[in-house]
A and B are shown apart, each in its own frame.
Chain A
Amino acid sequence: MRESTIMKIHYGTALAAVALVAVHILMRLTTGFVESLEYENVLANYKFVPYAAMLELILILLAVHGFNGLRVILLELKQGRMYEKAVSYGCLVAMFGLIAYGSNTIIRTNMGMT
Chain B
Amino acid sequence: MTNDENKEGIGGMANPRRYGIERVAYLLMRLSGLGLLAYFVAHIYETSNILRGQVGWNEFLELTQTTGGHIFLAIVIGMCVFHTVNGVRVMLGHGGVGVGKPARPDYPYDPASQNYRHKIGIYSAIVLAAVAMMYGLAVMFGE
Contacts and interface: CB of A to CB of B under 8 A. Distances in A.
A89 interface: no
A96 interface: no
B84 A37 contact: no
Main secondary structure of the interface of B (DSSP, over half): helix
B127 interface: no
A66 B37 contact: yes
Given A42-B50, A109-B51, A33 B9 contact: no
A114 B50 contact: yes
B143 A34 contact: yes
A2 to B, nearest CB: 15
A9 interface: no
A69 B84 CA distance: 13
B44 A67 contact: no
Interface residues of A, number: 34
A49 interface: no
A33 B44 contact: no
A37 B65 contact: yes
B37 A101 contact: no
A70 interface: yes
Contacts of A39: 50, 54, 57-58
B132 to A, nearest CB: 10
Interface of A: 7, 11, 14-15, 18, 21, 29, 32-34, 37, 39, 42-43, 46, 59, 62-63, 66-67, 69-70, 73, 76-77, 98, 101-102, 104-105, 108-109, 113-114
Q: Which 5 A-B pairs have the closest CB atoms?
A: A66-B37, A105-B48, A102-B44, A39-B54, A69-B33
8 contacts: A7-B94, A37-B65, A39-B54, A46-B50, A66-B40, A101-B45, A102-B44, A105-B47
